[in-house]
Structure 1
Amino acid sequence: MKKKKWFLLFVIACLILTACTEYRVLERISLVTLIGYDVEDGDVTATSVVRQINPEFESSIEIHSETAETSKGTRVKTDLQSAKKLMAGQLRVTLFGDDLAKEGIEEAIHTLAMNSEITTSIYLAVVDGKSKTLLEGQYPNIADVGQHIFNLIDHNINQQQMISSTLHEVVRDIYASFRDFALPKVKKSGEYIDISGIALFKDGKMVGSLPASDSFYVLLIRENINDGTLQLVLPGELAESSKNPPNYQPEELPIAIDAIKTKRDLKIINENEIDLSISLDCRLLEIHSSLAISDKKITEKIEKEINKKIESEIERIIKYSQEVNSDIFGFGEHFYAFTRNSKLTEEKWREIYPNLKVNVKIDTEIIRSGVFE
């Protein structure tokens, strides 16, 4: 008798749960996978990448572009062009044209965060130029521009070659009093789409940008790294240290290091000065054959030159962020969290940051140097 009661309860529970499920039949809906926003004479232009699926489960890609006073207005107009209901549950990337980014995108990000259809793991990025031009471009080798841009950003973030810019992370930085956010930049490059750099924001507005070649250094300043690859150019006179120097002295000596692991440490000296120390373990992946990397003295000289080069690049990048007054590294958060009885305000930090003295110290150790070690 008890078994029958439990079975009956189980059936009722299944029926209740089934009744609460909202079915989405694929061939009856349109899946928005990417949206790009631009500003046009004060209005918003939204360009959507839409995946259509027919009853035979064959998919096709459509690009819809509409202009209205609000982003919701653009969706209404796009709906009027579509025979199927638009669903944003598969949205993977949101792009902002650089004109809109310069005007400010906090409201647009706030609207995205309020949309219950959208997951907070979507990526945000800025376009060099207009997102509409990028998305409507002809790319013979790209079948699905929305999926391609998602893969492009996701791959480089996972390889620790670009900063992560999920909606969750950006909203967190927006609501942090002593930190600014940054987004990857993408651009149309002929028949391809490239990651071109990093956009720096202050109070929700893009105030500057760094080239893609600086992205690894930005990561070094912001967080600990467990992987990655970096190419450096060291002074050519380093080759003179070799037991078998080349017949000619090169002006520059390019090297590549990978399997990088770092540990970042911040120490407050006073309210106008901070120490940034980074210990870096790496493998020497590529270097001129004349340098005997099995020689400890040669390895130590290489490590010393790597330290100088990275310190110089990081100092340059921090100085630029100070010029545009965009603390994308969270130095202000560290000051506020680790200063006893801190009376630091956002306004005061804006005054301090441009003149903050940051002492950069890099300590490199080459732990492996390829198959010949």
Structure 2
Amino acid sequence: MKKIKVLIVLLLSCLFIIGCANQRILERIGLVTLVGYDVAEENKVTATSVIRQINPELQSKVEVQSETESTSKGTRVKVDMKTSKKLAAGQMRVLLFGEDLAKKGIEEAIHTTMMNNEISTSIYLAVVKGSSKSLLEYPYKDVTDVGQHIYNLIDHNIKQQHTVSSTLHEVVRDNYSEVRNFALPILHKKGEFIEIDGVAFFSHGKMVGSLPAGDNFYILMMQDNFKESTLELVLDGESIDASKFQEKQLQIAVDSVKTKRSIKVVDPELNEFDLNIDFKCRLLEINSLVPINDPKLVEKMEKAVNQKIENEVSRILEYSQEINSDIYGFGEQYRAHVRGGKLTDQKWREKFREMKVNINVDVEIIRNGVFE
């Protein structure tokens, strides 16, 4: 009998809680799925929102609304005045920043987004080449929902490890770190298509530089371990005796089977580091005349790929030091190694710019395709 009474009390409690919940009927709200911010005149900001409206027949339509105000909240109020439904940000997937705003600084926008308990920390952040307003308002022929399309584009390429990961959680973590910076993908509209065009480097919330999409592979290789991605290389024919099959340059494509990266502090006093990269890959494409079953030739190819990667990694690292943006974690390793010493943001910025890095790449071609 006591068990039955307890069960009745629990059921009544559940009904009471459900009855008190803040109900949101889908047909009465507009779902904001993407927001883009741009710099406007007089220190104002232009916010462009992609809104999905659901009608009683559960059919949806997408509209793009743009407003300018002094704050992002002000723009939301203005957009609210133009819609017949209450706006909800719970389904927001992407936050975009126009290039001019990114260079001016996005810390306030990140802080405001982080404070909104409706918005998930798993949303993606990205920079738009030009303005986000023009990217979102363009009438694409084959895109019915530009918000969902951009989310799928970013999500797919991050999961395939073709570009840097840029969730709100990761960006906030790195932005508030004294020894690490963050990077965001760059989107660009080319004709009827939107594509990932490069990587934007940030320092103190401001975009301080960028590199093209072709450098994504090397940037990811320097940031962490990864297992997927494809790399196209042009090797010097002399380095592998390509003259035997009448090639001055040899174009190849490899994919990563397993890549392991480690950063070690060699000497904290001399500000010296080792960057070690073990790259196990599979040969996907090569001139059919090349005898890939020859172990000596494969060894020469490994050395040539090794040298190519070292040169590219060195170039990108030098650029990162010039713009003073550590997106790789050298500062974290230094702070973990030098215990008891307080490493401030200013101290690490000075050390990062002047640090010496010994780049050691070890390439191994472990399979030559399905015919081996």
Same fold, TM-score > 0.5, yes or no? yes
Structure 1 unmatched runs, 5+: none
Q: CA separation in 2, counterparts of 1:233 and 1:302?
A: 11
The residue aligned with 1:360 is 359
* Alignment check: 8 A CA contact 2:49 2:65 kept: yes
Q: Per-residue CA shift, 1:120-147, capped at 9, x if unaligned? A: 0000000001100110112101111100
Secondary structure of the residue aligned to 1:360 is: strand
CA RMSD of aligned residues (A): 1.3
Deviation for aligned residue 1:3: 4.1
Q: Displacement, 1:236?
A: 2.2
Structure 1 equivalent of residue 279 of structure 2: 280
Rounded Cα–Cα distance in structure 2 between residues aligned with 1:337 and 1:227: 29
Given that 1:228 and 1:259 are in contact with CA atoms closer than 8 Å, whether structure 2 keeps it comes out as yes
Say which SS state the counterpart of residue 275 (structure 1) adopts: strand
Q: Does residue 298 in structure 1 map to residue 297 in structure 2?
A: yes
Instruction: Tell whether the 8 Å contact from 2:256 to 2:279 is kept in structure 1 after alignment.
Output: no
Alpha-carbon contact 1:33-1:50 (below 8 Å) kept: yes
Please list, as runs of the form range in 1=range in 2, the aligned pairs for 1:237-316 lying within 5 A after superposition.
237-238=238-239, 240=241, 245-246=244-245, 248-250=246-248, 252-271=249-268, 272-316=271-315
Provide the rounded CA distance (Å) in 2 between the counterparts of 1:265 and 1:249. Answer: 36
Q: Tell whether 2:340 aligns with 1:344.
A: no
Q: Distance in 1 between matches of 2:77 and 2:57?
A: 28
Once residues 95 and 153 of structure 2 are traced to their aligned partners in structure 1, the CA distance between those partners, rounded to angstroms, is 13
2:242–2:250 CA contact under 8 A, matched in 1: no
Supply the distance in 2 between the matched residues of 1:3 and 1:100 (Cα, whole angstroms).
62
Contact 1:229 1:260 survives alignment (8 Å): no
Contact kept in structure 2, 1:277 and 1:360, CA below 8 Å: yes
Per-residue CA deviations over 1:198-239 (Å, capped at 9, x if unaligned) read 111111111100101111111110100122211111112356
Q: Would the aligned equivalents of 1:44 and 1:67 in 2 still touch at CA under 8 Å? A: yes
Matched, 1:30 2:30: yes
The letter for the 1-side match of 2:225 is: N
Per-residue Cα deviation, 1:261-318 (whole angstroms, up to 9, x for no partner)? 1111111122321110010111111111122222111111111111101111110000
Is residue 240–residue 304 contact of structure 2 (8 Å, CA) maintained in 1?
no
Structure 2 residue matching 1:197: 3-state secondary structure: strand
Using the TM superposition, give the Cα deviation of residue 341 of structure 1 relative to its aligned residue in structure 2, in angstroms. Answer: 2.9
Equivalent position of 1:7 in the other structure: 7
Identity %: 59
- After superposition, the C-alpha distances for 1:54-108 in whole angstroms (9 at most, x for unaligned) are 1111111100000000000000000000000000000000000011111100111
Match of 2:59 in 1: 58
Q: Where do 4+ consecutive residues of structure 1 move more than 6 Å?
A: none
**1:324 is aligned to 2:306:** no
Give the stretch that moved more between structures: 64-73 or 287-296: 287-296
Structure 1 segment 162-201 matched on structure 2, within 5 A: 162-201=163-202
Letter in 1 for 2:16: I
Distance of 2:74 and 2:16 partners within structure 1: 36
1:316-357 deviation per Cα after TM superposition (whole angstroms, max 9, x unaligned)? 000001111111112111101112333432211111211211
TM-score norm. by structure 2 comes to 0.96
